[in-house]
A and B are shown apart, each in its own frame.
Chain A
Amino acid sequence: MRLPSFNYLEPITLTDALNLMEEYHGRAQPLAGGTELLPRMKLGLTHPTYLMSLKEIHELKGIKSNKNELYIGGMTSLREIFLSTLLQQKFLAISEAAGSVAAPPLRNMGTIAGNLCQDTRCFFYNQSYFWRRGLKPCFKAGGNVCYAVPGSKKCFSVYQGDLAPALIAFNAKVRIEKKGSSRIIPIEELFSGKGEKPIVIADDELLTQVIVPIPEGIYGSSYRKFRLRNALDYPLVSAAAFLAIDSEKKVKSVKVVLGAAGPAPVIVKEAEDILKGKKVEESAINEIAEAAYKRAQMVDNLGLPASYRKKMVRVFTKRAIENAFNSIK
């Protein structure tokens, strides 16, 4: 369980970092907070030759905003996001999601970019060498078996990041940069939907910024997370909801996103049709919860049986919508 050896790079500007990424032909693994990557290295799940720490690149840290958009640097800590008054007032779900990650020491280290790029997880994959020895590698480990669903042809590992569902609910985007170019994509496009390689980002690219459009009018949001313990645990199910209403309390727009319900965050697209132009009523919330239930893909590869987790999709979808509605001031 010791950290294997690696070469350490520590650029102090973004330009240097992007240069290094090109120079090392994608073999320089970016190290943000390290709270995900280092345990994976200790378990022997990944073996980067070069670790490139981003902690000294101050231009990647901090929260800024103008009239239309909020900008969160990729290296901004989850603690800062959780405690930001601006986020607590205008982007409650994002603040709640950041505050629900792991435990305070991990939130001090963990960053928004790191959290977004978190790898998918599975009980049959996130195990020590001791546990895995003697077993053939699974799909996620580059092999061609699945221990979670024996006989299956694909990987069923689960995306358990907390921030992504909340950010997607706000239609957030990310800026991805490489030497000489930069692109901005909606966050949902960051995810491939494949458990084997869930994050679509090239080896020489860096996620540098999260951009959240500031919603207009009257709205509320919420992130609800189901887990066994009130600290440390990844979500076993989570739901983020964004809800904007007009002066007659009719829904102008709604977005509901599930976490830990498949290899990528799951957008419950039915929500818009069900609620738009209507008042928020229990029957509509139930209908969305039902749609969420149908969209969630779950197998027995996390802390609780899939059957129970799936039931919880309904409960937490409802709670997220209700809390989002109740948070409207």
Chain B
Amino acid sequence: MTAPFDLSDDSVVVIVGTGAGGGVLANELAQKGVSVVALEAGGRYLPEDYINDEWESFGQLAWVEPRTTSGDWRVARDFPNLPAWIVKAVGGTSIHWAGASLRIQDHEFRARTEYGNVSGANLLDWPLTRAELDPWYDKAEKKLGVTRTNDLPGLPGNNNFKVFEAGAKAIGYTQVNTGHMAINSVEYDGRMACQQTGFCFQGCKWGAKWSSAYTDIPRGEATGNLEVRANCHVLRIEHNEQGLVNAVVYSDADGNEQRQSARMVCVAGNSIESPRLLLNSASSMFPDGLANSSGQVGRNYMRHTTGSVYGVFDKPVRMWRGTVMAGIIQDEAHNDPSRGFVGGYEMETLSLGLPFMAAFLDPGGWGREFTSALDSYENMAGLWIVGEDMPQETNRVTLNTEVTDAFGMPVANVNFDDHPNDIAMRNYAYMKGMEMYDAVGATRTFPTPPYPSTHNLGTNRMSENPRDGVVNKFGQSHDIPNLYVSDGSQFTTGAAENPTLTIVALAIRQADHIAGELSKGNL
């Protein structure tokens, strides 16, 4: 039974965004009896709606409203209006994610202490330890049904994994397996097992991969405490004379402006839209935007040090068959500055279909050097590098007042320069990836530049001291006690791991915290 709440009902918690952060938070609060209105800019699509065709699916799910880019990253040149490949739909990017579910390592929560003073980096320790978060990681792994946890078996390895595993072993790696995946290896939680269909990035048509779209959200709605309003694009957050937030203004599905009163607001629109919303909500009391007394809103944008390596062999691999990212090597995930950089990286299997391979193998490339690579598509194996990138104050999301969206609001500009540590790590990882494939007979290997960002992090970061960041260790803003951030923008540092499991763990923990504060009358 979906709850209908009145626009003037000021007892509701308003959540902006319904992905891994907002969608989970909405359900967890609803389960505890808290009234929630979740505003989602996109429409509602379920497994039967997903399209297993790369460009058609991109048109269905991707956030394609204008954004701009600047800085020395290659994405700014190759995809100037597409800094990120993220989803606009009920369920958010949890529809598109690959399912890789890793806990951030203990030392990565203490990045500033462990890595020291890295020139040009704005490193900071999280105000949270791994031990403190572990109980919520346990809950997140159970919720998502992560393989290799809770006695759930690993997924079987596909052709791409077999090449990856053989290459890894050939160069002496030992920590290689089919990953910790939120993709069912056996039936779990009412969802079926993976059928090795491919197209994990286009939404799982079997529902074998966890997404808030068809788990947390309908369960939250079933409590009668959650109303999800789709196609409602939030424009700004308002506050009262005491400086507490009290309403969210949005454009509804018919394009009419609405104002939902709120007891508190949780922002979960991803690391680009969340800071944009806080900045677009500037007022005379908060001229630099909400929760921004530190000046850190929008800063320290991180996207992981990524890149891909494709190897071509003399015989077919058919990498597109099966689970896209069920393969990981963790031998390089530790911190060992003797490699020439701080932090570590994961290597994970990756494949793209032919249409996206043509777009992303070497954006802008042409001629026979390019086409002879694609001619070997059937014989390719591929992997993705996911490494810790350095937070930098100048890597930031700002408002571009010269470009406005359909609602007349300034769009986000994403400025990003690679840090020398990022470049050193990427080049090292490229060499290792090529070495792996060469060791099992590759005839040609391609280091491939980073795609538009799928991991967007850090733009409203957690900090112990309000001077250093935007929110505290519960995601509560330092400046405005009833304003929370509930997505990956909370991350103090990026760590080497795919971020979704941590976003989910933080959302469950934040729900426990908010429910406690509400019952104590603190909010």
Q: Do A and B interact?
A: no
- Residues of chain A touching chain B, judged by Cβ–Cβ distance below 8 Å, are none
- Residues of chain B touching chain A, judged by Cβ–Cβ distance below 8 Å, are none
